Amino acid sequence: MIRAYLDHNATSPLQPAVRDAMLSAFDVVGNPSSVHKEGRAARALIEAARSKVSDLVGAEAGHVIFTSGASEANMLALGHGMKQEFQPAPASHLFYSAIEHPSVLSGGRFGPSERSEIPVDSSGVVDFSALRVLLTTHDRQTGRAMIAVMAVNSETGVIQPYAEIAALASEHDAYFHLDAVQAAGRIPLDITEIGCTSLSLSAHKLGGPMGVGALVMAKEGLEPEPLITGGPQEHRLRAGTENVAGIVGFGEACALAKDTLSSDDGIKRLMSLRDSFEARLLEMAPDVEIFGGKAPRVGNTCQFAVPGLKGETVLIQLDLAGVAVSSGSACSSGKVAASHVLSAMGYGADLATGAIRMSLGWSSQQADIDQLTTALGKICTKYSRKAS
């Protein structure tokens, strides 16, 4: 059976050019911290990749800190011990939106009494007025506030007003960490123009390897409190011998994403596929709910629910039909339960537990959409007959 893979927000298949770059890197045997020729060769690969990663988000190469993934990058960013101009400038309270990834919802290194949730509206957009109130009531004498918001929601694809949040953070002398995992390669990002303190990235959402990510800082002298200490790697901000081949693959994936954004063709292609799917979805199920459909979204994502259909049932039936989709964040998988994102948006358990997320990427084709819609049509027909 030919399978249609439509779960790129969970992980995007390794791109052929990334695989080739990694295979070449595996032949480089040196430790990048060694001073001999082999070590210098490994170091050169890392620094070339660092430049490619920074270029994707308009940052300086020296401000990129490689990690094991975006979850670690988020944890690294969300700590009290921040430095500005290399001098201690601690944060005392974390404000995060109700729809964040679990790695942010866990609060990083802030205790339960040191963090507060920012509500969202029915479209899943951060309640700007509520955030302003929270920042106004924050006691600055205890330390700065820190805001953590994702640029693009991993379930709905809704784009947050991150530039406006950054301006508000600046007004209140607060730090602002942007989880850019689902935005990178899908919308243009420039860390300087955005005005955030830091942003996190993940290689495998871009068609790169799993187990590699980065925390990107906005300015020189702006540093997080190290999470892993020991050796001098990554400017002494993340100890441990670097994953050379993984980092090389990450860099190549970022370069490919930059090319796609520059041409704009790839972004428009995915949006066209998504829009055609939604049009056909509305024809077969006029009462379908497309979550976040009235808000700005990235062009690769559609999360929906057909009233009366359980998410678990649809997932299993689609999988049997050769279609891979999900019910939401892969980091929350293992059970099909009410999405915390949809619950925060005000949806009841009946719709929230029926949610299905279709997400496109570099390998997606019209045939995948055709296979999905054909299978969905059969499922809708089958279960509507049972209900009657």
Q: Does domain 4-13+264-387 have CATH number 1.10.150.120?
A: no
Mean pLDDT of 141-159: 97
Model pLDDT, residue 262: 87
- Average pLDDT value for the chain: 94
Residues 306, 318: Cα–Cα separation, whole Å: 14
pLDDT for the residue numbered 333: 47
Place of tokens 């919308």: 187
Q: Is the pLDDT of residue 337 over 70?
A: no
- Cβ-Cβ contacts under 8 Å for 92 (sequence gap 6 or more): 80, 114, 139, 142, 143, 144, 145
pLDDT for 328 equals: 58
Q: For residues 207 and 58, what is the distance between their CA atoms, to the nearest angstrom?
A: 20
pLDDT digits (tens, 9 = 90+) for 240-278: 999 999 999 999 999 999 999 988 777 899 999 999 999
Q: Which tokens belong to 28?
A: 């480089």
Contact between residue 208 and residue 362 where contact means Cβ atoms under 8 Å apart: no
Percent of the chain exceeding pLDDT 70 equals 96
Q: Which residue has the tokens 């960013």?
A: 77
pLDDT level of residue 215 (50, 70, 90 thresholds): very high
Q: Residue 336's pLDDT band (boundaries 50, 70, 90)?
A: low
Q: What is the pLDDT of residue 355?
A: 95
* Beta carbons within 8 Å of 22's beta carbon, 6+ residues apart: 209, 245, 246, 248, 249, 252
pLDDT category, 388, cuts 50, 70, 90? very low
Query: 274-313: buried (b, 16+ CB within 10 Å) or exposed (e) per residue?
Result: beebbebbeebbeebbebbbebebbbbbbbbbbeebebee
For residues 149-177, give the mean pLDDT.
Answer: 98
Res 386: pLDDT = 55
Domain boundaries, the chain: 4-13+264-387, 16-261
331 is catalytic: yes
pLDDT tens-digit profile of 351-379? Answer: 888 999 999 999 999 999 999 999 999 99
Could you tell me the CA-to-CA distances from 82 to 146, 197, 260, 382 in Å, in that order? 10, 10, 34, 56
**Could you read off the pLDDT of 297-313 as tens digits, one per residue?**
999 999 999 998 889 99
CATH number assigned to the domain covering 16-261: 3.40.640.10
Q: What average pLDDT score do residues 374-385 get?
A: 83
The answer to whether residues 159 and 151 touch, using CB atoms and an 8 Å cutoff, is yes
Q: Which two tokens stand for residue 259?
A: 């090319």
- In this prediction the pTM is 0.95
Residue 40: pLDDT over 80:
yes
Quote the CA–CA distance of 337 and 348 in Å, as a whole number: 12
Report the pLDDT value the prediction gives residue 338, as an integer from 0 to 100: 78
- In terms of pLDDT, which residue wins out, 189 or 333? 189
Q: Pick the residue with more confidence: 267 or 342? A: 342
Q: Shortest CA distance to 300 belongs to which of 71, 2, 60, 8?
A: 8
Catalytic residue among 196, 254, 302, 331: 331
350's CB contacts (< 8 A; 6+ apart) are 307
349 pLDDT band (50/70/90 cuts)? Answer: confident
Instruction: Give the C-alpha separation, 177 to 63, whole Å.
Output: 14
